[in-house]
Chains A and B, each alone.
Chain A
Amino acid sequence: MTETTYSGSDAADRGNDMAARRKRRDAANRRLQYYGIGAISFAIGLLALLFASLIVSGYTAFTQTHVRIDFPISATHVKPDAIDQGNYRLVVRDALADLFPDVTSPADVRSLGQILTNNTQFFVRDAVLADPSVIGRSVTLEIPASDPFDQLNKGVIDRNVPENQRRVTDRQIGWFDQLVAQDRVTAPFNWALFTAPNSRFPELAGLSGAIVGSALTLLVCFVLSFPIGIAAAIYLEEFAPKNRWTDLIEVNINNLAAVPSIVFGLLGLAVFLNLMGLPRSAPLVGGMVLALMTLPTMIIVTRAALKAVPPSIREAGLGMGASKHQVIMHHVLPLAMPGILTGTIIGMAHALGETAPLLLIGMNAFITSEPGGITDAATALPTQVFIWADSPERGFVARTAAGILVLLGFLIIMNGLAVWLRQRLERTW
C-alpha cells in the first residue's frame, strides 16, 4: 500500500506538471482561435477592400448631370400633323441660341451643342409626342449632359490641366459655367441607370436591358434545372438500384459540377446554336446553357437534402401503408424542400454571376432595347459589365463599377433570401 501513495514532493510535482499541461492546452486552444479570427478578418478585409474600391470608382455613376433647357417648339419646325417628323435638331439649336445669343459661328454652335447629350433632339421629340399641346409654346426639359461635361461637373475632368490634354475646351467650360451660374445644372439620382437600356453614350446607358435579360435567362434556367434536378435526384436517391451504372452516373454528376463553365458555353454554341439553330444572344439559349451548368449542383444539393431526411420518417410512412411514391411526395420531399430551395437559390445566384458561357453564345451583343421575350437578343448583367469594361469613354469606367455593384446587390439579395427561407421554413417545424 505504501508504494502507491505519493510522498509530499511527488504530489507537488504532479500538481506542477498538471498546471503546466493545462497552460499548454489553453495556449493551444487560444492559438487555434486566433488563427481562425485571423483568417476571417483577412477574408472580411479583402471583401471590404473590394467593396470600397467598387464604391469609390462607381459612386459617381449613381448621379447624372442634367441641364435644364427651355425649348421653344415653333410650328415651323414641328408640324402638328406630323409630330414625329419634326426637325428637332433645329429646335435644339434655337434653344441654345436663345441661351447664348453671342455664339454664332457654325463651329462654336457645334461645340456648344456638345454640352448636351447627342440624343437631345429625341428627348424633345418624345416630350412633344407625349403632349402635342406644347407646339407653339415652349417646353422645359432636364437634358442629360454629355459624358465629358458630366465628368467635368463631377470633377473627374480636371479644369487645371492644359486645354489640349482634356476633352473639353476652355470656351465650352465657360459656357457650362454660365449654365451653372444660371442654376440650370443639376445632378439628381441616376434612375436611368436602372430604367434605361444600353447606349453608345455613357450618359444614357443603363442596365434595364441587362436586368431584364438576366431575369429571363434565370427564369429559363430555373424552369429547366429545378424540375429536372429534383426528378433526377429523387430517382438516384430513392429508386435507382445500386450498381455499376448508377455509380458511374453519380461519379459523372460530381465531375460535371466541377467542369469549367466555359465548356458549357462551347457546348451551347455547338449544340443549341449551330446544330439546333436556336437564336443567338437569346435568353432562351443562355438559360439552357446555365441550366446545364447548374444541373449537377442542383442534383447534388437535392440529394443531400433528401438524404438528410431522417429514415424514421420514411419508416413511419411505409409502416402506415403509404406507397413509396406517397412517402416521397407527402413526407420526404416537403421535409427536404427548405434544403432544396436554399440550394436552388444559391445555384441561381451562381448562374446570375456567370459570364463565360454567355459570351460564347453571344449575349455580349450591343443591344439598345430591353428584350421582349426569351428569344429576343439580350445581354445579361455580367456580360453588360463586360461590355462596359471594354468601352473607352470615361463615363463607362464608373458605370462598370456601378454595374458590378448592382450585380453584387442582386447576389446579396438572393443569398439573403436563401438564408431567410431556410430559417423560416425550419422554424415552422
Chain B
Amino acid sequence: MATVAEMPRETQTFTTVRTPDAAPRPVKVRGENVNVFYGAKQALFGVTIDIPEKAVTAFIGPSGCGKSTFLRCLNRMNDTIVGARVEGKITLDNRDIYDTDLDVVELRARVGMVFQKPNPFPKSIFENVAYGPRIHGLARSKTDLEEIVVSSLQRASLYNEVKDRLHEPGTGLSGGQQQRLCIARAIAVSPDVILMDEPCSALDPIATAKVEELIDELRTNYTIIIVTHSMQQAARVSQRTAFFHLGVLVEEGPTDHIFTNPIEKRTQDYITGRFG
C-alpha cells in the first residue's frame, strides 16, 4: 500500500462522503479543511468534519492513516511535536482553538485526553486525580478537592475498587484500572470533550468491556472522540463513525449506517477486512 507521502497530492480525492444523523445534534467540535504536516511530510489532507455534542464519535482506519494526528489536533498536543504544523481551522463551540490569544492550558482543561497506554503519574491514586483540579485551581478547599476526586473516581466506575487505597501508588493498579484512573483524572477537571486514542488496546477483554461500558455512560455528559482499531468496539460504543484512509477523511456518518451500508468502496473494503 502506498503511503501518503508516496501518493501525489493531485491523485487524492479530498471529498468526504457524509451521511447526516436522522436527528442532528448540535456541533461541538468542527474541523474545516485541516492539513497537518510533519516537517515536509503531509499526514492529513483537507479534513472537514463536524463532531456532535454528547455523543461518541469513532475514528477508524488503517494504521498510519492519521487518526491520532487529527485527534491530537483537537487539544493541540501536536504543538509539542517538533516540526508539526497544522493548517485550516478547528473550532470548539465555534471558537477557533488555534487562535493566537487562546490559552492552550485552558483548552486542554476543556479537552481531556486518554492515551493508548495507561499512563498514571507515579503518585498516589488520589494525587493522580487531584492533579488537574489543583493546577487549574478548581478546588477551593481540601474537602472540595476530596469531593472532586471521589466523584471523578465514581464516574469512572473505579471508586469501589480503590476506595480503601486512595493513597497507594496509581501505578500499582491493574492495566484496566489504570486506564479508568486516567479517565477519572481526565474528567476531574470537568472537560467538555474527552479524546481517547485506542484506550483499550493495552487491555484484556474484561477490562475492555468495563471501559466501553464507562464510555457509554460518560456520553450523557461529555463529547467523546475515540480512535479504535476494533470495528466491534466502534460499533458498540459510538453513535457516529469517521473512516480515514491515507490522511483523507473518506466517509463519515451514523455508526450503524457506516457498518451496514457504507457508500464509499474503500470504507466497505476496510470494514469487511479487505485491507487494514
Q: Which residues of A contact B (CB under 8 A)?
A: 242, 310, 312-323, 326, 330-331, 335, 429
Contact = CB atoms under 8 A, between A and B. Distances in A.
B113 A319 contact: yes
Contact of A321 (B82, B109, B115): B109
A321 B189 contact: yes
Contact of A318 (B80, B120, B123, B136): B80
A353 B132 CA distance: 46
A232 B115 CA distance: 31
B106 interface: yes
Given A313-B122, A315-B115, A335-B122, A320 B132 contact: yes
A319 B75 contact: yes
B187 to A, nearest CB: 11
Contacts of B117: 312
Given A320-B185, A321-B135, A321-B136, 12 more contacts: A310-B119, A312-B115, A316-B119, A318-B77, A318-B80, A319-B75, A319-B77, A320-B108, A320-B189, A321-B105, A321-B109, A321-B132
B112 interface: yes
B171 A429 contact: yes
Nearest to B136: A321
A237 to B, nearest CB: 13
Contacts of B14: none
A316 B182 contact: yes
Classify chain B's interface size: 20 to 34
B175 interface: no
Of A242, A319, A323, A330, most buried by chain B (CB within 10 Å of CB) is: A319
B64 interface: no
Contact of A319 (B112, B120, B122): B112
B275 interface: no
A326 B122 contact: no
B254 interface: no
A314 B108 CA distance: 14
Interface of B: 75, 77, 80, 82, 104-109, 112-113, 115, 117, 119-123, 131-132, 135-136, 169, 171, 182, 185-186, 189
A316 B119 CA distance: 6
Nearest 9 CB-CB pairs, A to B? A321-B108, A312-B119, A319-B113, A321-B109, A429-B122, A316-B119, A320-B132, A321-B105, A322-B135
A323 B119 contact: no
B119 A313 contact: yes
Contact of B169 (A320, A326, A429): A429
B84 to A, nearest CB: 14
16 contacts: A313-B119, A313-B121, A316-B120, A318-B77, A319-B77, A319-B112, A319-B113, A319-B115, A320-B112, A320-B135, A320-B186, A320-B189, A322-B131, A335-B122, A429-B169, A429-B171
Contacts of B109: 320-321
Contacts of A322: 105, 131, 135
Contacts of A321: 104-109, 132, 135-136, 189
Contacts of A330: 131, 135
Nearest to A429: B122
A399 B126 CA distance: 58
B138 to A, nearest CB: 11
B135 A319 contact: no
A319 B112 CA distance: 6
B154 to A, nearest CB: 19
A319 B120 CA distance: 12
A143 to B, nearest CB: 61
Nearest to B195: A319
Contact of B121 (A242, A316, A318): A316
A335 B123 CA distance: 10
B194 to A, nearest CB: 11
A331 B189 contact: no
Contacts of B119: 310, 312-313, 315-316
B9 to A, nearest CB: 28
A242 B123 CA distance: 32
Given A318-B80, A319-B112, A331 B135 contact: no
A429 B127 CA distance: 13
A321 B109 CA distance: 5
Nearest to A309: B122
B155 to A, nearest CB: 17
A161 to B, nearest CB: 70
Nearest to B123: A429
B121 to A, nearest CB: 6
Of A313, A315, A320, A322, most buried by chain B (CB within 10 Å of CB) is: A320
A318 B112 CA distance: 10
Contacts of B77: 315, 318-319
A320 B120 CA distance: 11
A318 B108 contact: yes
Nearest to A312: B119
B115 A316 contact: yes
Given A319-B112, A321-B106, A326 B135 contact: yes
Contacts of A316: 115, 119-121, 182, 185
A215 B128 CA distance: 41
Contact of B131 (A242, A310, A320): A320
Nearest to A320: B132
B169 A319 contact: no
Nearest to B118: A312
Contacts of B75: 319
A335 B119 CA distance: 14
Contacts of A318: 77, 80, 108
A170 B242 CA distance: 107
A320 B82 CA distance: 20
B220 to A, nearest CB: 23
A312 B120 CA distance: 9
A315 to B, nearest CB: 6
B169 A242 contact: no
Contacts of B112: 319-320
A314 B171 CA distance: 15
Nearest to A335: B122
B113 A242 contact: no
Contacts of B121: 313, 316-317, 331
